[in-house]
Amino acid sequence: MTKRLLIIFLSLTTFKAFGQRDSLKQFVILTFEMDRNKDSHGTFVYYWIAELEKYEKVDEYKEPIIYSLFLHEFYSRNQLDSCCLGKKSYPFYFFQGDNFDFPKNYSEYLSGLRKLTKDNRVLIQKINKNWKDNYRETVTVYGTAVCGQLCKCINAGDRLLRPGDMMGFPKGEFEVLKDFWTKDKRILIFKDFSQMNFVNSDYRTGK
């Protein structure tokens, strides 16, 4: 059975002014939860997304493209619109005259998508790091298989992400793919993320 996150206000009519018209694709939303035993005051949560595509003439998957996914509202409407038009975006910057008038219930939309992601995730990896003075850090990586659409664009700034990095903003309806985790897809997604720099926002929350 496939669960759906149906968002009325982010229907195709809401995005009719946006230039991107991608069809539905299969993704794995990667959640990185970082806990520290000192000075963290909560759990750091970071979202990335793995985009899977098959070769045209071979029934095999390419190496997944992994890039930042923003599921918290910290940017201006200008940057969201720019990305959905396929232009470069500055999500960590604010400019004079920025617009923060998002579509109705946009915050609830993102909150619902975060809940959908958390409720349907599977454990991929747990990374434990230990330093002197009893300082410890645990990073837990989860994957949630979904079908949906993204606004995808290039990061133009140099805060947290590098200039030229790919990033995505969710749009429209998302479905959870319950039968996604076949052996070949597990091989692509269940890998070692211990060397990855996954910090792409500044969001933290209590468990």
Q: Is residue 207 part of a domain?
A: no
Note down pLDDT in tens along the chain; length 207 residues.
Answer: 444 544 433 443 344 444 445 578 899 999 999 998 876 678 899 999 999 888 888 877 888 899 999 999 999 999 999 999 999 999 999 999 888 998 889 999 999 999 999 999 999 999 999 988 888 999 999 999 999 999 999 999 888 889 999 999 999 889 999 888 988 888 888 989 999 999 888 666 654
Distance CA 195, CA 207 (A): 25
**Residue 10 per-residue DSSP state:** G
Distance CA 6, CA 174 (A): 7
Q: What is the CA radius of gyration of the chain?
A: 17
The pTM for the full model equals 0.85
Query: Domain range for residue 51?
Result: 4-191
The amino acid present at 44, given as its one-letter code, is: F
**Residue 200 per-residue DSSP state:** -
Q: Is residue 152 part of a domain?
A: yes
8 Å CB contact between 189 and 28:
yes
What's the number of domains the chain is made of? 1
Per-residue pLDDT, 12: 35
Q: Is residue 26 part of a domain?
A: yes
Q: Is residue 184 part of a domain?
A: yes
8 Å CB contact between 35 and 137:
yes
Q: Is residue 56 part of a domain?
A: yes
Pairing of strands 25-36, 204-205: unpaired
Q: Is residue 164 part of a domain?
A: yes
Per-residue pLDDT, 6: 43
Per-residue pLDDT, 86: 92
Residues 6+ apart with CB under 8 A from 80: 89, 102, 151, 169
